[in-house]
Amino acid sequence: MSAADAERALNDYFEKRGGHGHDAVRTAARHPIDAIRALRFIARLSVIDAELRTDGDAALVRRGLERTNPLARRLIRGTTAVLVVPDTVEEFLAGSSESKRSLRTRFNRATRRGYHVHRTDGHEERRAVLALADRYERSHPDELYRNQAPDNDYLLGVGTWLVAHDVDCRPLILAVPAISGEWAVLQHFKTLESSDDARLARYWMSVELVRELHAQGVRYLADVLSPIGLPNGLRDFQRRLGYRLHRVRIRP
């Protein structure tokens, strides 16, 4: 089995067994044969060596890649959803697949509507955007994503904040990648309201995020969330953008 075949099979397993936030240990215990197959798929994944630096948001990047306790990390062998950042936005948008055509269509639509990205650096400005994020998280219309006690204050110290605005300067989505060297870990990528404009902004911001990461010399963008318990809606969105499962091996 090739690494690509193993990656697709493992993603199918996560979608079937872990895509609703279920406890991974209980799920594996109830379906041991599938769990053993999943471990075999993990063993065949491609490996990316992460030589982490100590500058920028290094502590958050390391924490995001390590993510779990040492025992669980050893079991899944660093399996992480990673987007390999292309050299150009045009390369990111290129392709004949349905997902790439859809991405181009939505990106162009948002651009025509006057969407623009703003680097948010001031503390008070960040506080105002974070208040919007916390409020929406507490009242999210989907119970799966609702959180009555969001804990996002740590984001205030992250170096890069990107906010997508519509033509009327209404903030629609907040993206916060922690960056150190060639690696970034996406700490926050969430809409600030429930609307068609905000949903469109998710795709538009994905392109602008790639543009920003490339400008900062980032080669790999990893998701801070474990692929095991990731909701299937987010899993599908990631794969449409080009995220794939890899084993990330952290070097000293």
Q: Are 146 and 137 in contact (CB under 8 A)?
A: yes
pTM of the model: 0.91
Q: Are 246 and 45 in contact (CB under 8 A)?
A: yes
Q: Which pLDDT does position 27 carry in this prediction?
A: 63
Query: What are the Cα distances from residue 146, in Å, to 67, 154, 198, 205, 233?
Result: 22, 19, 17, 22, 14
Q: Which pLDDT does position 186 carry in this prediction?
A: 97
Q: Is 26 exposed, middle or buried (CB count within 10 Å of its CB: 0-12, 13-18, 19+)?
A: exposed
Q: Which pLDDT does position 160 carry in this prediction?
A: 97
Q: Which pLDDT does position 25 carry in this prediction?
A: 57
Q: Which pLDDT does position 157 carry in this prediction?
A: 94
What's the rounded Cα separation, in Å, for the pair 37 and 55? 39
Q: Are 172 and 191 in contact (CB under 8 A)?
A: yes
**10-residue averages of pLDDT along the chain (252 residues):** 93 76 59 81 95 89 84 80 96 95 97 96 95 95 89 94 97 97 96 96 97 97 88 92 95 76
Q: Would you give the end-to-end CA distance of the chain in angstroms?
A: 30
DSSP for 104-169, written as a single string: HHHHHHHHHTT-EEEE--SHHHHHHHHHHHHHHHHT-SSGGG--SS---GGGGG-S--EEEE-TT-
Report the SS3 class of residue 97: coil
Q: Are 44 and 6 in contact (CB under 8 A)?
A: yes
Q: How many C-beta atoms lie closer than 10 Å to residue 6's C-beta?
A: 19
Q: Which pLDDT does position 28 carry in this prediction?
A: 61
What's the rounded Cα separation, in Å, for the pair 20 and 211? 31
Q: Which pLDDT does position 182 carry in this prediction?
A: 95
Q: Which pLDDT does position 64 carry in this prediction?
A: 92
Q: What are φ and ψ of residue 165, in 5° steps?
A: -120, 150
